[in-house]
Amino acid sequence: MTSALNDIKILDLSRVLAGPVCTQILGDLGADVIKIEKPGAGDDTRHWGPPFLKDKDGNDTTESAYYLSANRNKKSVAIDIKTKKGQELIHKLLTQSDVLIQNFKKDGLEKYGLGYEQIKQKHPHIVYCSITGFGQSGPLSSEPGYDYLAQAMGGLMAITGEPDGQPMKVGVALSDVMTGLYAAIGILSALHAREKTSKGQLVDLALLDCTLASLTNVAQYYLTSGQSAPRMGNAHSTIVPYQTFKTSDGYIILAIGNDGQFKKFCDFAGHPEWAKDEQFSTNKARVLNRDDLIPLLSKTIAEKPAAHWIDGLRQADVPCGPVNTIDKVFEMEQVQAREMEIAMSHALSPEALKLVGSPLKLSDTPPQYTHAPPILGQDTKEVLENLLGLSEEETLALEKTGIIETSKI
């Protein structure tokens, strides 16, 4: 076995980010992912640019950076699921699939005969993953869901941003990403259960649920105390010092998680007396007296450049680091050593396409990168003819009526 999931076939009806994040993870681990897209349009994110991938003449292609970020290791098959013939093709594909994943609104696929109960009747082995804003139950279940809404309604925005500023969304669609991660876990769990029961099941994911779950200690802060955790900006509600500090030439972060680390910091900073002061000697005391401590730390840290603190504190085993821009992140030897930047050939690009690598490092079945993010309909002909046994004449007839689309490249 060279890939952990090389015996799993996934029919991916999802688009935008949460579903594609999930299926890219599973595809990296060897699953055969067939991405079903709308002929003539494809995944919405294909058009979410600039920036776009450049062709050999330096012109923009139709492949946006957003789309490229979450769609490698998939085959693109363009089928119009609104048509009866298109639905028939989906059902034929399901006979050879293990998983169906979709992120339509609740009951959005029933009119096409592709809802969970309909699939369950015809294909009881299918693990059916549904990603929606609010899940399959509850008073908001029929409402459309978006990452931005989930961040706002799930409490994430309320705790993000400066204490005296407005609530702030996270810089990436984190509710979508986290839901994709939970979806992958749910699908793998359902597949494991199927080994014992031979039956698939519904994996019901909601952006709101996953956002709330991601709040972890901040959500528990409320459940334990009855008080909402305060918005702390770059500081921490229950650990001090754990925030950004300005040096003489930039910003660093200190992430001091225990009293021993605080003592080491004080010794390096030339103020061992701080660690002996009852106001600051324990984390509890530092949290209660942060308004007295932080100005002292800020004044001292501002006197020296970032490198002084990063190099010195690293040697002292005190968590400290730079606040990197994205270009600096990819320049890090650590990032390169971990193969977090990869390159793949792409049908439209004269140069290797650079992508973010998988963070999963498995000793025996590592992620493999076999298929660059596909152009729309790139694999329609291959899948329908080789997997379903359609003739070339049948494929051409389907394309003429607009039921499918095949790539000309």
The candidate with the shortest Cα–Cα distance to 238, out of 273, 279, 286, 274, is: 286
| Residue 327 appears among annotated catalytic residues | no
Rounded Cα gap, residues 254 and 306, in angstroms = 11
- β-pairing, 60-64 vs 242-246, is unpaired
Q: What is the pLDDT of residue 251?
A: 95
State the catalytic residue, choosing from 176, 204, 209, 379.
176
What is the tens place of the pLDDT at every residue in 330-368? 999 999 999 999 999 998 999 999 999 999 999 999 999
The candidate with the shortest Cα–Cα distance to 20, out of 183, 213, 174, 134, is: 183
Domain boundary among the residues 272, 290, 322 is at 322
The candidate with the shortest Cα–Cα distance to 112, out of 77, 79, 142, 84, is: 84
CA–chain centroid gap for 45, Å, is 14
The reply to whether 61 falls in a domain is yes
Same domain as 172, residue 133: yes
Rounded Cα gap, residues 386 and 373, in angstroms = 21
The reply to whether 2 falls in a domain is no
Rounded Cα gap, residues 124 and 128, in angstroms = 10
Q: What is the pLDDT of residue 1?
A: 59
Rounded Cα gap, residues 387 and 394, in angstroms = 14
Same domain as 127, residue 204: yes
The reply to whether 317 falls in a domain is yes
Rounded Cα gap, residues 143 and 13, in angstroms = 19
Same domain as 14, residue 97: yes
Q: Which residue range forms the structural domain that includes residue 61?
A: 9-214+335-405
DSSP β-bridge partners for residue 64: 52
Q: Strand, coil or helix: what is 78?
A: strand
The reply to whether 235 falls in a domain is no
Q: Strand, coil or helix: what is 288?
A: helix
Contacts of 284 (CB under 8 A, 6+ apart): none
Q: What is the mean pLDDT of the chain?
A: 96
Largest CA distance in the chain: 84
- The burial class, CB within 10 Å (0-12 / 13-18 / 19+), for 147 is buried
CA–chain centroid gap for 339, Å, is 18
Same domain as 182, residue 44: yes
Domain boundary among the residues 299, 322, 345 is at 322
The reply to whether 81 falls in a domain is yes
Cis omega (within 30 of 0) on the bond before 50? yes
The reply to whether 299 falls in a domain is yes
- β-pairing, 127-132 vs 99-102, is parallel
pTM of the model: 0.93
Domain containing residue 50: CATH number: 3.40.50.10540
Same domain as 169, residue 58: yes
Same domain as 113, residue 47: yes
- Total domains, the chain: 2
Q: What is the pLDDT of residue 237?
A: 86
Same domain as 36, residue 170: yes
The candidate with the shortest Cα–Cα distance to 285, out of 269, 299, 274, is: 274
Using alpha carbons, list the distances in angstroms from residue 299 to 287, 293, 303: 19, 10, 7
Same domain as 183, residue 86: yes
Same domain as 371, residue 271: no
Rounded Cα gap, residues 336 and 334, in angstroms = 5
Q: Tokens for 160?
A: 């993000």
Reading the chain (409 residues) residue by residue, the pLDDT tens digits are 589 999 999 999 999 999 999 999 999 999 999 999 999 999 999 999 999 999 999 999 989 999 999 999 999 999 999 999 999 999 999 999 999 999 999 999 999 999 999 999 999 999 999 999 999 999 999 999 999 999 999 999 999 999 999 999 999 999 999 999 999 999 999 999 999 999 999 999 999 999 999 999 999 999 999 999 889 999 998 899 999 999 999 999 999 999 999 999 999 999 999 999 999 999 999 999 999 999 999 999 999 999 999 999 999 999 999 999 999 999 999 999 999 999 999 989 999 999 999 999 999 999 999 999 999 999 999 999 999 999 999 999 999 999 999 987 7
Contacts of 207 (CB under 8 A, 6+ apart): 18, 131, 132, 133, 134, 145, 146, 147, 149, 150, 154, 175, 176, 179
How many residues comprise the chain? 409
What is the tens place of the pLDDT at every residue in 156-170? 999 999 999 999 999
Same domain as 65, residue 128: yes
- In this structure, what DSSP letter does residue 110 have? G
Same domain as 281, residue 198: no
Rounded Cα gap, residues 35 and 208, in angstroms = 25
Domain containing residue 261: CATH number: 3.30.1540.10
The reply to whether 190 falls in a domain is yes
Q: Strand, coil or helix: what is 251?
A: strand
H helix count then E strand count, the chain: 17, 14
